[in-house]
Amino acid sequence: MSPDLFWRLMMKVYNVLVFPGGTELGLEIHKALCYCKNVNLFSAGLNISNHAPFVFSNFFSIPIIDDPSWINRLNEIIVENEIDYVFPAYDNIIVALAQNKEKVRAKIIIPPLETCLITRSKLETYRFLENVIPVPIIYNDKENIKQFPVFVKPEKGQGSEGTHVVYNRDSLMQIMNTAENSIILEYLPGKEYTIDCFSDRSAGLLFCNGRERIRTRSGISMGSQLVQNDLFFTYAKAILNKMTLYGAWFFQLKEDCNGIYKLLEVAPRIAGTSALNRVLGINFPLLSIYEQERIPIEIMSNKVDVRIDRALINRFIHDIRYSVVYIDLDDTLIVRGKLNLVIMRFLYQCLNNHVRIILITKHSFNIDTTLRTYRLENLFDNIIKIDMSDKKVNYINEKDAIFIDDSFTERKEVHERHGIPTFDCSMLEMLNDERM
C-alpha cells in the first residue's frame, strides 16, 4: 500500500451503525469508538426499552429479525445516514447479517458465513474443533450417564440463560423434558477464562491475551483479571489454523477436574469485558474497522497489571432546558478541599453546549486566589460574590436557568421564587449527557 493511500484511509471518517446498540457488546463498542476522530456512531435496535438511546445521539428503531421487513428498514437507515459499516453486537444478529450480507447496503464487520454458523452452535463448534483443542465430553444418551454432576446448556444460547448444573438423574430427566434444544456436557469445575484475540486475514494472529472470569452475573463477566499462559496462545493459533476468523474474536476455556483447559465457546466478535484489554491500548472495534479496510495494523499494549470490576450505572434523559447555570463554590464545586469531578464534567459539558456558567458564592477567602489555586479562574462567565447575610435568590434573573447549591435553604428559596430546577451534588448525575 502506498503511503498516500495509507494516509487517505487513516483520515477517512467512517459512519458506523452498531446493531443493536443497547447490548453489553453495543455499549462496549460505543465506549471504544465514541471519541475516535474518524468514526461517527449510529445505533439501531428494537423499539423497546433499552439503553442505546441514553448513550447514542443517533438511535433508530428496526423490526425484529424474524420480521421480513427488517432488512428493508436496515437499508433505509444505511442509505439515509450514509453508513459505511454495520457492527453487529448480538450473536443472532451476527448470523442474520452474515446470511443476508449481499442484501445489506453497507459493509458488515463479520467473518465468513461458515464461521458465523459454526460458532453460533455449541455442538458444531465442539465437533469442528474436537481434534484441534480439548473440548468437553458430550453426552448424547442421557440414560447412560454414569457420572454426575453434568452441565446442561442451550445448544444455541448466550450468557447463562437456560444453563443448569445437574446433580442426579431424576433432576436431569425433569430438566431435559422442558429444556428444548439443550445439550448435556461434562461438568467443568475449575476456573474459567476468556481469551481476547485479534487477527488479520493476511498477517494472522496479532494479539492474544487471557483473563480470568473472577465474578460473573447472568453469564457476563463482572470481575476479571489478566492471566498470562502460553497455552492460550497455542490454543488461539490452533483455532485460527482451522477456522477463518479475522478482526476481533474470543474464545472461552474452563478447567476440568484434572486441570485441563477445555473449550466452552468461540465467538467472532468482541467480548463485553474486553474493556480490560482496551484500556491497555487494544481498541478491538477500531482495529476491526481498520482490518476490514485492509489498513496495515500495528498493535501496542501497555504492560500494566490491571483488574476490572463492572457494576450497574445510571444514565438519564430529561426535558429540562436551560441556557444559564448558577453554581455555588464551597461544599458544591469544591468539597473537602477537592474539586467535585462530577460537577466539573457537567460544567465542561455546559461549555460544549454554549451554556453560560455563573459562580454565585459566599466564599470567605480571596476568591481570585481560590480560583487560581484550583485552576478555575477562566471557567465562569460571571462571578457573583455576596455577603454571608445576603441571599442568592436575589441575584438570579433568568427563567431558563438552573441553580446548584449544597444548601437546602438556598435551593428552596430559589425554587419557590423563580420556579426553576435546583440541584444538590447528589442530583447532578441526571444532567450529565454521554450521548455521542
Let me know if 171 is exposed, middle or buried by CB neighbors in 10 A (0-12, 13-18, 19+): middle
How confident is the model over 378-389, as a mean pLDDT?
A: 96
**How do residues 271-280 score in pLDDT, each as one tens digit?**
989 999 999 9
How confident is the model over 156-181, as a mean pLDDT?
A: 82
Q: Is residue 301 within 8 Å of 283, Cβ to Cβ?
A: no
Cis, bond preceding 149 (omega within 30 deg of 0): yes
Of 313, 379, 328, 378, which is closest to residue 350 (Cα–Cα)? 379
Estimate the crossing angle of helix 284-293 against helix 24-33, to 10 degrees: 80
Q: pTM of this prediction?
A: 0.89
Asked whether residue 105 carries a pLDDT value surpassing 80, the answer given is yes
Task: Give CA–CA dist 195/206, Å, rounded.
Answer: 13
Q: Is residue 118 within 8 Å of 98, Cβ to Cβ?
A: no
Confidence (pLDDT) at 104: 98
Q: How confident is the model at residue 142 (pLDDT cuts 50, 70, 90)?
A: confident
Q: Report residue 268 as a C-alpha cell.
A: 467472532
Q: How confident is the model at residue 141 (pLDDT cuts 50, 70, 90)?
A: confident
Asked whether residue 9 carries a pLDDT value surpassing 70, the answer given is no
More confident residue, 86 or 142: 86
More confident residue, 25 or 172: 25
Chain CA centroid to CA 260, Å: 31
Q: How confident is the model at residue 423 (pLDDT cuts 50, 70, 90)?
A: very high
Of 204, 208, 248, which is closest to residue 229 (Cα–Cα)? 208
Q: How confident is the model at residue 176 (pLDDT cuts 50, 70, 90)?
A: confident
Asked whether residue 7 carries a pLDDT value surpassing 60, the answer given is no
Residue 405 CB coordination number (10 Å): 24
Long-range contacts at 282-286 (CB < 8 A, ≥ 24 apart): 282/196, 282/198, 282/207, 282/209, 283/32, 283/33, 283/36, 284/32, 284/196, 284/198, 284/247, 284/248, 285/28, 285/29, 285/32, 285/33, 285/87, 285/248, 286/32, 286/33, 286/36, 286/39
**How do residues 302-340 score in pLDDT, each as one tens digit?**
988 999 999 888 999 999 999 999 999 999 999 999 999
Q: Is residue 323 within 8 Å of 401, Cβ to Cβ?
A: yes
Cβ neighbours of residue 219 under 8 Å, at least 6 residues apart? 158, 159, 160, 161, 163
More confident residue, 48 or 218: 48
Q: Report residue 2 as a C-alpha cell.
A: 502506498
Task: Give CA–CA dist 217/84, Å, rounded.
Answer: 34
Confidence (pLDDT) at 17: 98
Task: Give CA–CA dist 85/107, Å, rounded.
Answer: 5
DSSP category for residue 160: T
Cross-strand partners of 60:
44
Confidence (pLDDT) at 84: 98
Of 143, 147, 211, 202, which is closest to residue 173 (Cα–Cα)? 143
Domains defined along the chain, listed by start: 3-110 (3.40.50.20), 119-125+189-309 (3.30.470.20), 137-186 (3.30.1490.20), 324-431 (3.40.50.1000)
Asked whether residue 1 carries a pLDDT value surpassing 70, the answer given is no
Asked whether residue 120 carries a pLDDT value surpassing 80, the answer given is yes
**How do residues 36-58 score in pLDDT, each as one tens digit?**
999 999 999 999 999 999 999 99
Weakest mean pLDDT among 194-208, 229-243, 303-317:
303-317
What is 170-214 written as a DSSP string? Answer: HHHHHHHHH-TTEEEEE---S-EEEEEEEEETTTEEEEEEEEEEE
Q: Is residue 47 within 8 Å of 82, Cβ to Cβ?
A: no
Q: Which residue's entry shows cell 487471557?
A: 210
Confidence (pLDDT) at 37: 93
Asked whether residue 6 carries a pLDDT value surpassing 70, the answer given is no
Of 47, 48, 45, which is closest to residue 23 (Cα–Cα)? 45
Maximum Cα–Cα distance across the chain: 86
